[in-house]
Amino acid sequence: MTDTIPFLKLTNEGAHKILSAAVAKAAEMGVPQCISVVDPGGHLICFTKMDGAFVQSIDSSLRKAMTAASYGEPTGHMPEGVDIKLAIATDGKRINLPGGLPIIVDGHVIGAIGVGSGTGAQDLEVANSGLAALESTQKFD
C-alpha cells in the first residue's frame, strides 16, 4: 500500500474556461444564470452573476457546486426526505437541486460547477455546456 496518490488539479485557467462556456450557453438560451466553479474541497475558484440572474441563486449555485464536488455526483438525484435531513445536518450546505455537476477527469474529482437561476433542466444544460469546454471531463445526462 502506498502513502501517496497522483493528484490532478483544476487550474484557474481551466475553471474560467468552464465558466465562459457556461455563460455563453446561458446567453444563447436567454436565461441569465449564477455560475460557480469550485475545487474538490468545494472552495470557490470563480463565479459570475449574469445580468438579470436571481440574487438568491448566488448561494444556490455555490451550494450545488459544493455538493457535486463533495459527493462526486450530479445534484438533484437524492431521495426525498433524506435530502432535507442532510441539508439540516450540514446547515444548508448540502443541496439536492439540479444544476450541480462534478468535474471528473481520469476518475479524479477535480472540482464542480453549480448553476442556478433557471429551471432545473436549464441549469443542468448550462452546467453540461461548461463541462464540455474541457475535452477530458466525464459527461453527464
Percentage, residues of the chain above pLDDT 90: 82
First to last CA, the chain: 36
- Fold of the CATH domain 1-8+38-45+56-134: Beta-Lactamase (3.30.450)
Over residues 6-26, mean pLDDT: 96
pLDDT tens, 110-119?
A: 999 999 999 9
- pTM, to two decimals: 0.94
pLDDT at 6 > cutoff 90: no
The sign of the dihedral angle between the CA atoms of 67, 19, 109, 118 is: positive
The pLDDT, as a whole number, for residue 80 is 85
- How many Å apart are CA 34 and CA 58, to the nearest integer? 6
Give the amino acid at 39. D
Q: Is the pLDDT reported for residue 138 higher than 80? A: yes
- For 84-130, write each residue's pLDDT tens digit: 898 889 888 889 999 999 999 999 999 999 999 999 999 999 999 99
Question: What's the pLDDT band for 1 if we cut at 50, 70, 90?
Answer: confident
Categorize the per-residue pLDDT at 55 as very low, low, confident or very high, splitting at 50, 70 and 90. Answer: very high
Residue 24, helix vs strand vs coil: helix
Residues present in the chain in total: 141
